[in-house]
Structure 1
């Protein structure tokens, strides 16, 4: 019994298992965040559909003007609440991972101190009946990280988190972004994306509306895949956007731009609806002109 107890103490005392578990948790940070990203992407796509002045709002206002406004407001508020929840979860993941790193660092320093003293984990374990409570240590470290962030003058409140602000932009709201410089001055940027810039919906290479848009993960620019292939056929490997410093353009840098696809589809749908309305108005005008009596003098 005594031998088994000593072995147990040694395994906990050297902290090897704790460090291994900490490394596993830290390495899974991107996996933890992936679920949040998926939820946020769905909310953003829905926000695109419910944007102010969009076709859904127009349709609902025409079909049920008494209830449409309240319904739209409720759905938009739900989306903003989802974005705030995603932002909170994102911050909690980062706080947790940082706390695990801090606790891992403490364990490593304790091991190094023990090894330098010649006793390593055995001496520390000899006076302890229970193994270290790493769960409690992490909880305390998480709280410490959170308080440190909130006390930072540059701390961004939840309602101004990038996820929340981005979704509000997709809804067509005017948002104010504050960027702090070294003098801690606020720079106010007002964006209104209630309607898409037609020029931004066209490939910078072909000049045509995007059909198969791909986004460059390095510099953030979007091209149509057909236009990109045309560029490569000329053996050019520089991003075609003026002023871009990306001189190593390749297919490995791009990914499908679903957001741009939605923007182009929304624009074309809006244009088609506007054309149908103009055609209908012209038809009604022609009927009114031809349906009256002609008075001969």
Structure 2
């Protein structure tokens, strides 16, 4: 076993975390669908989905612990004689076991996607309740539509967003593809990208500041269905 092959394997393993996060987003989206159709009444189904997202959190943490174990153990044998590599597997296994023994449920609960899952369910339940109340009171439809169109418009494309992302720093929304393209273009020219929302003082938008907002995405999809858009 060579160190180069170890690093290649780690790189492949790290790429799996992107798939895990995508899976967690799918679980959150299913939960929002249940809330939309049944409200918070189907608590058993929501509980099972929460258990699923916690399992994803644990798997993500296992990968992090394994990568950390490999990095630390390979660093110790990097300048050692080749025969030291013979014991690398056992060293990594032992260190990984130690790290995982210290992982608690509270730590898994702090995963950003787990926090997002709970927040999304709570926010969408509130939104669904407000929407039902508005329908019951028969609020002026034109005002509601106009307001929705304004809220759902990307400040970059000036059209309704498809995959809305929220900036954690300034709380403004953009369409994911548009904002990432602009950030990439500005960074390529070694320049910062300013939030395009009029009046915003955020002068340095980073990709790491952005998070997919599944609640907003579902609201946009519902708005399209209600207005007959495709």
Into which bin does the TM-score normalised by the smaller protein fall? Answer: 0.5 to 0.7
Most deviating of 89-98 and 131-140: 131-140
Match of 2:86 among 132, 140, 161: 132
Looking at CA atoms only, which structure, 1 or 2, has the larger radius of gyration?
1
Structure 1 residue 140: deviation in Å? 0.6
2:213 is the alignment partner of 1:263: no
CA distance in 2: counterparts of 1:132 and 1:147, whole angstroms: 25
CA distance in 2: counterparts of 1:57 and 1:168, whole angstroms: 17
- The aligned residue for residue 62 of structure 1 is none
Q: TM-score, normalised by structure 2?
A: 0.62
2:195 is the alignment partner of 1:239: yes
| Matched-pair contact (CA < 8 Å) for 1:29–1:93 | yes
Where does 1:270-285 land on structure 2 (aligned, <5 Å)?
A: none
| Matched-pair contact (CA < 8 Å) for 2:120–2:214 | no
**Aligned-pair Cα RMSD in Å:** 4.3
Q: Can you give the 5+ residue segments of structure 2 that lack an aligned partner in the other structure?
A: 131-146, 180-192
Residues 209, 81 of structure 1: CA spacing in aligned structure 2 closer, same or farther, 3 A cutoff?
farther
CA distance in 2: counterparts of 1:161 and 1:255, whole angstroms: 13
CA distance in 1: counterparts of 2:77 and 2:89, whole angstroms: 13
Match of 1:106 among 72, 76, 84: 76
Match of 2:174, SS state, is strand
- The aligned residue for residue 38 of structure 2 is 57
| Matched-pair contact (CA < 8 Å) for 1:19–1:107 | no
2:92 is the alignment partner of 1:142: no
Residues 88, 36 of structure 1: CA spacing in aligned structure 2 closer, same or farther, 3 A cutoff?
same
| Matched-pair contact (CA < 8 Å) for 1:205–1:223 | yes
Structure 1 residue 20: deviation in Å? 2.0
CA distance in 2: counterparts of 1:214 and 1:166, whole angstroms: 15
Match of 2:78, SS state, is helix
Q: TM-score, normalised by structure 1?
A: 0.50
Residues 76, 257 of structure 1: CA spacing in aligned structure 2 closer, same or farther, 3 A cutoff?
closer
Aligned length: 190
- The aligned residue for residue 170 of structure 1 is 120
Q: Which has the higher helix share?
A: 2
